[in-house]
A = this chain, B = another copy of it.
Amino acid sequence: MSSKLRIVPLGGLGEIGKNMTVIEYEDEILIIDAGIMFPENDMLGVDAIIPDYEYVRENRDKVKAILITHGHEDHVGALPYLMREVDVPIYATPLTIGLIEVKLREAKLLQDVTLKTIQAGFNFRLGSFNIEPFHVAHSIPDCVGFGITTPVGLIVHTGDYKFDHTPVDNWPPDFAKLAEFSKRGVLALLADSTNAERPGWTPSEQVITAAFDDLFSQAEGRVIVASFASLISRIQQVGEAAAKHGRKLAITGRSMRNNVKIAQRLGYLELPPDLLIDISEVSKLPAHRVTVMATGSQGEPTAVLGRLATGRHRQLSVQEGDTVVMSAHPIPGNEEMIYRIINRLFQRGANVLYNQVAQVHVSGHASQEEMKLMINLVRPKFLIPVHGELRHLRQHAAMARNLGIHADNIAVVENGTVLELDEHSLKVQERIPGGYVYVDGAGVGDIGHSILRDREKLANGGFVVAIVNVSPSGALIGKPQFVSRGFTDLESSNGLLSGAEKTIAQMAGMQWSSKDELTNRLTGALNRYFYSEIGRRPVVDVVLK
């Protein structure tokens, strides 16, 4: 009996197979990508979410390499955590390697990790696997997907992609390679599902060039463009438009400046000489000579645009006549903060252009017609939709069925589900235990549901800690002391404080048999008292002294 190939998308919530995929054959494992998930609004205080690496730890000796598709956070952001678990080389294209180096240097791991630079179009062998990285277009340069020839057949992983015929870097996706894979016969396609709900074809980046040319000709004051720090092609486009219209360009926001440096050094960003100026020079130039590129397109209050919107930027302030361009799409969950910033910029007299009113951004992901083209180009036996929430995977699967792929040959699964393949079959196995792990500050994994529940309660009603002195005989000594935050102004709220004191005195005056019992009773009584008085449920803790 021949062995099976195992494919496991990892993560835990949100998008499936986005942050990490395990490819396993006998005693060899390849890991594709090592990203973080961004917390949702109700994951209070959580900085990032990473997959539970228990499966990787258990199979540490099998892991041969980590292959990276591109340099976005949700694909490389967890390397500082993963590289503490495994000691294997990371394979990625030059720009991606450049971005990973920054990340590992910050985590003080750079010396301990082997980085191997690969090139789209050049294959390499790792154990039983022959790996062919192929170029795809996306919203960061130097992206690849992987063709992986395994003992059971050829697996194709698209990475994040769109079929842009006219990308800014003039490097269209490698259609020929996909066709070649198809000719050889593809056992399974793992394909990006992000835009599975979007009909048609994602517009080319070229559309933006025209839109920017237009807005630069009309803008009378400064042009301030906010975008993703890693969207190198947008920086290229803005730079070219600025140069053409006789403007200088200042780039602000630490992450964007870092990325520009790396991209320039490696030749992925080519700006005219003398175009770039420091942000401190902006005030010396007339408004119509200035362009600024900034971070903060997701409404982050501490990023450059957020500070501009509230007048808290040291070197720059938005003024009447400025044109602010939101050249990004809102990541779900950020809409409210983004619109708030747009409103504030209008308030300061700027004209704000954003996708609802002008085409100043295009997605980096394939829409439905491109997803169909991918399936028909590659013609896989099995389809595994990845990179999307469950709803996107379902739409992707529905499309594939319409293209003639049998429902049994499509695996829509959740993170952690093991898929077993051989030449003839794709079987959905059980989920491996574990899910995801919260990162908060320097703490990885100590935050669980009970702490998040407490944070939610604290967020909604604050807390009251009552410190109560009782004598060994059970009598109340003196007045209880209260510490409270986020509840209400206890001191100045007519009678609330004295009511709480009275509640404690009454309860302590009743029969009780142990300090624990009294503590519980007092806590319950205060909870009820506050709710009946003011309709709120703060976290109440009673300390008996």
Contacts and interface: CB of A to CB of B under 8 A. Distances in A.
Nearest to A533: B442
Interface stretch (A27-35, A153-161, A336-344): A336-344
A455 to B, nearest CB: 4
A465 interface: yes
Nearest to A443: B534
A391 B352 contact: yes
Contact of A333 (B44, B335, B343, B460): B335
Interface size of A as a range: 35 or more
A520 to B, nearest CB: 15
A459 B535 contact: no
Chain A binding surface SS class: mixed
Interface in A497-543: 531, 533-536, 539, 541, 543
A463 interface: yes
Nearest to A301: B42
Contact of A454 (B390, B451, B486, B493): B486
Interface string A259-300: 000000000000000000000000000000000000000000
Given A335-B335, A539-B485, A455 B462 contact: yes
A346 to B, nearest CB: 5
Q: Copy number in this complex?
A: 2
Nearest to A332: B335
A493 to B, nearest CB: 7
A483 B541 contact: yes
A111 interface: no
A409 interface: no
A337 B335 CA distance: 13
Contacts of A402: none
Nearest to A393: B346
A152 to B, nearest CB: 29
A325 to B, nearest CB: 14
Given A462-B451, A463-B485, A336 B332 contact: yes
Contacts of A461: 45
Interface of A: 40-42, 44-45, 197-198, 332-333, 335-337, 339-340, 342-343, 346-347, 352, 356-357, 389-391, 394-395, 414, 440-443, 446-447, 451, 454-463, 465, 467, 481, 483, 485-489, 493, 531, 533-536, 539, 541, 543, 545
